[in-house]
């Protein structure tokens, strides 16, 4: 992530520039150190050679002095001449050694001067590098502070969104705590495009269960067998249901509807997200969504996360008979004025009494929703 720091500079760009400068400086320092070592070695070599020549010069001058002394002491003219010639040769060699030594001493002095300049240059470069490292550290510290502030702001925004969501949830709870003075509207959707489910039988069982309940006059249905995606949208907008009941095939995050054709077919799928969007696209979204279909527990969770106070799904594949038993007992309990918690428990008990898998139905609830306090039928 790119983090803005002072002066409008991006940390990523600053780091890239610093790294480039650091590499360049490091190469330059390495070269200067090598040059310094070369100059210091050359100076030492020149001084050593000059010292050797000075030693030779001194020896030759001593030889010349001794030869002159011998020439002065001898009485032989030829011997004296020979010694003087020997002294001249020694003195000439000494002068040569002295001249060469002087030249080397000049070179050594030059190497020393160049080495001194390099030492000054290296010291300055090292000081600059230290300052650059300090600036880079300061930039990193400011970037860390900026990132920390960003995270604090993000947490604050998240907490604000959570607070708003909780407030909306509380409003929804208050809205469903006591049913309005109107009939409970149930949109019944059934889809079995391959003709392998007893959709009609299920809806007949539900109607019969409601018709024999205490508050049957407080419940009305919009029944849409062979339901298509259009039926879902029209049913939500026109009927404004409090409960949407879907019976058919499902899987995690997918619901299967029928297509508008006469023969058996594979059907068409609607995602949990799209299903939620359709149900929520109204001024009065449904209070309860029931998926009487296989593998729909996660779909129920998705709808609760999006808008619904409560939703029912199945944790695994469910048999036709178990699905019918759950639905009949659920709606019978609701129409008899029981709470949502009791109605869900009655549905599971309806499966258990016929020896079915009664732990499959799953009730998903919005944050703070108390199913024991939710009653969907207005008791006269």
Q: Kindly give, in sequence order, each residue whose CB lies less than 8 Å from that of residue 354, ignoring residues fewer than 6 positions away.
A: 321, 322, 325
CA distance 56 to 104: 14
| pLDDT at residue 52 in the model | 92
| pLDDT at residue 3 in the model | 33
| pLDDT at residue 179 in the model | 57
- Residue spans of the domains in the chain: they are 6-174, 179-373
Residue 199 burial (C-beta neighbours within 10 Å; 0-12, 13-18, 19+): buried
Q: How many CB atoms lie within 10 A of CB 41?
A: 12
Cα 342 to chain centroid distance, Å, stands at 43
Under a CB-based contact definition with an 8 Å cutoff, are residues 202 and 292 in contact?
A: yes
**H/E element, 195:** none
Cα distances from 68 to residues 75, 83, 92, 173, in angstroms, run 13, 6, 14, 129
| pLDDT at residue 154 in the model | 87
pLDDT along the chain (380 residues), means of 10: 38 52 70 88 90 91 89 87 89 90 89 88 86 88 89 84 59 50 92 88 94 95 94 95 95 90 87 94 94 95 94 95 96 96 97 95 94 87
| pLDDT at residue 310 in the model | 97
| pLDDT at residue 28 in the model | 81
The token duo for 49 is 């050679």
- Looking up tokens 């009609």 gives 200
| pLDDT at residue 280 in the model | 93
Reported as half-sphere exposure (CB side, CA atoms, 13 A), residue 227 has a value of 30
3-state SS, residue 55: helix
| pLDDT at residue 178 in the model | 55
CA distance 227 to 82: 138
Q: Which CATH number fits domain 179-373: 3.10.450.40, 3.60.15.10, 3.40.50.1460, 3.40.50.10800?
A: 3.40.50.1460
| pLDDT at residue 7 in the model | 41
CA distance 116 to 125: 14
């Amino acid at each position: 992530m790119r983090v803005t720091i002072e002066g409008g500079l991006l940390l990523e760009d600053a780091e890239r520039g610093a790294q480039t400068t650091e590499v360049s400086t490091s190469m330059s320092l390495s070269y200067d150190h090598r040059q310094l070592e070369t100059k210091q070695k050359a100076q030492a070599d020149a001084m050593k050679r000059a010292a050797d020549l000075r030693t030779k010069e001194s020896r030759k001058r001593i030889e010349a002095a001794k030869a002159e002394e011998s020439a002065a002491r001898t009485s032989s003219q030829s011997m004296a001449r020979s010694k003087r010639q020997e002294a001249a040769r020694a003195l000439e060699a000494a002068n040569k050694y002295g001249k060469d030594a002087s030249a080397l001493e000049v070179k050594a002095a030059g190497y020393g001067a160049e080495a001194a300049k390099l030492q000054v240059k290296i010291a300055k470069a090292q000081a600059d590098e230290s300052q650059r490292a300090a600036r880079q550290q300061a930039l990193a510290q400011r970037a860390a502070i900026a990132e920390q502030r960003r995270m604090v702001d993000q947490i604050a925004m998240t907490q604000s969104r959570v607070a708003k969501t909780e407030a909306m949830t509380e409003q929804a709870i208050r809205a469903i705590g006591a049913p309005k003075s109107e009939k409970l509207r149930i949109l019944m959707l059934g889809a079995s495009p391959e003709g392998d489910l007893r959709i009609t039988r299920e809806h007949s069982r539900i109607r019969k269960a409601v018709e024999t309940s205490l508050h049957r006059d407080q419940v009305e249905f919009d029944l849409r067998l062979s339901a298509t995606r259009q039926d879902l949208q029209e049913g939500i907008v026109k009927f404004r249901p409090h409960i949407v009941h879907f019976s058919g095939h499902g899987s995690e995050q997918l619901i299967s509807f029928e297509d508008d054709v006469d023969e058996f077919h594979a059907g068409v799928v609607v995602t949990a997200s799209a299903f939620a969007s359709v149900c929520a696209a109204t001024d009065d979204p449904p209070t309860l969504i029931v998926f009487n279909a296989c593998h729909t527990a996660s779909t129920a969770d998705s709808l609760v996360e999006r808008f619904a106070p409560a939703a029912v799904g199945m944790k695994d594949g469910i048999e036709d008979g178990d699905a019918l038993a759950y639905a009949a007992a659920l709606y019978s309990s609701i129409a008899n004025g029981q709470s949502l918690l009791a109605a869900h428990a009655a549905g599971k008990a309806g499966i258990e009494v016929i020896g079915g898998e009664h732990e499959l139905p799953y009730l998903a609830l919005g944050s703070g929703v108390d199913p024991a306090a939710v009653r969907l039928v207005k008791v006269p």
